[in-house]
Amino acid sequence: MSWLFLFFGVVAETMSHVALKETEGFTRPVPSAMVLLGHLAAFMFLAQAMKDMPVGIVHALWAGLAIVSVTLLSTIVYRQHLDFTTWTGMAFVAVGVVLINLSQGHAH
């Protein structure tokens, strides 16, 4: 169940960060509310994930997956085109997430 909470935390964080651009410095109420609620939801889901997983592992996976998913979604939504070096960095983040998942570090 922890993995499901982690997944929902990443989704909430991703949606929140992508909506942040639309707030125009928190001057637009609807996107601003989406950002605040998204962050709140993300932390609530992460707190649930941390009941059965180590804090460091949850945080590393959450941060890495959020970086990749925000970048991918921003590319689609805002048509932000990134260069090869940036995508290479994203690949390294993705490989790091896989390595963390394959490690014994998340076992109690």
Q: Residue 89, Cβ neighbours under 10 Å: how many?
A: 14
Span 77-95, average pLDDT: 87
- Please check whether residue 58 is in contact with residue 45, taking contact to mean a CB–CB distance below 8 angstroms: no
Orientation angle between helical segments 2-20 and 55-77, nearest 10 degrees? 40
39-51: per-residue pLDDT in tens? 999 999 999 999 9
Give the pLDDT mean for 30-59: 94
Among 66, 64, 58, residue whose Cα is nearest residue 18: 66
Instruction: Indicate the pTM of the whole model.
Output: 0.82
Give the model's pLDDT for residue 105.
Answer: 57
The closest of 82, 60, 56, 63 to 17, measured between CA atoms, is: 63
For the chain, domain boundaries = 2-102
Query: Would the pLDDT of 98 be above 90?
Result: no
